Amino acid sequence: MSRIGKNPIAIPEGVTVDIKDNEITVKGKLGELKQEYSEIDIKIEDGEVILERASEEKEIRSKHGLYRALIQNMITGVSEGYTKELELIGVGYRATNQGQKLEITLGFSHTVVIMLAPEIKVETISAKGKNPVIKLTSHDKQLVGQVAAKIRAYRKPEPYKGKGIKYVGEYIRRKAGKSA
């Protein structure tokens, strides 16, 4: 039995879970998320979501834990939301936003302009003497992570000076460089 899959998921107050035609819909104060599923039985009992599988095939066993984790992330997302913070380290690296349009200056000959999905709220924080920070917030964990990774990919942190875009709290392994 999957250790993750057999754990029930508690449904917090203000969140509704509907199951129709192999699609689970989760609604909460921050939004609505849908997920299709197959080969797994999902039931709602006593304010908890319970997942069960029909057989012990390897593919079905792996889907058991997968769908449990996806549903847990959906419930957490619509009730609390997810946030990713990116820090720009480097001379002249800046970030500004106007609505859903994010403009980043990363030392290229041009500014990088990114149009973000309407589900994501973006905020840029630039204080004097500190590195600029891009704060991404949404109810969809996968979307926030994907957008953050895409932004980080424009200028990954390099190991010699540490310049680039990194997640807040991420540790960059530094190298010594040339020795004379």
CA contacts within 13 A on the Cβ side of 102: 25
Residue 161 has phi, psi (to 5 degrees) of -105, -15
Clarify whether residues 74 and 105 are in a common domain: no
Domains of the chain: total: 2
| CA-based R_g, the chain, Å | 21
| Whole-number pLDDT of residue 75 | 96
- Provide the residue-wise pLDDT of the chain in tens; the chain has 180 residues: 468 888 999 999 999 999 998 999 999 999 999 999 988 999 999 999 999 988 889 999 889 999 999 999 999 999 999 999 999 999 999 999 999 999 999 999 999 999 999 999 999 999 999 999 999 999 999 999 999 999 999 999 999 999 999 999 999 999 998 875
Name the 3-class secondary structure at 156: coil
| Whole-number pLDDT of residue 2 | 61
Residue 23 has phi, psi (to 5 degrees) of -140, 130
Clarify whether residues 137 and 89 are in a common domain: yes
The range of the structural domain enclosing residue 63 comes to 9-79
Clarify whether residues 134 and 68 are in a common domain: no
Residue 55 resides in a domain:
yes
| Whole-number pLDDT of residue 180 | 59
The last residue of one of the domains, among 52, 79, 106, is: 79
Clarify whether residues 73 and 86 are in a common domain: no
What single-letter amino acid sits at 143?
A: L
The last residue of one of the domains, among 53, 79, 105, is: 79
Clarify whether residues 28 and 86 are in a common domain: no
* Exposure string over 104-131, b if 16+ CB within 10 A, otherwise e: bbbeeeeeeebebeebbbbebeeeeeeb
| Whole-number pLDDT of residue 179 | 79
The last residue of one of the domains, among 47, 79, 111, is: 79
Residue 30 resides in a domain:
yes
Which residue's structure tokens are 């819909």? 25
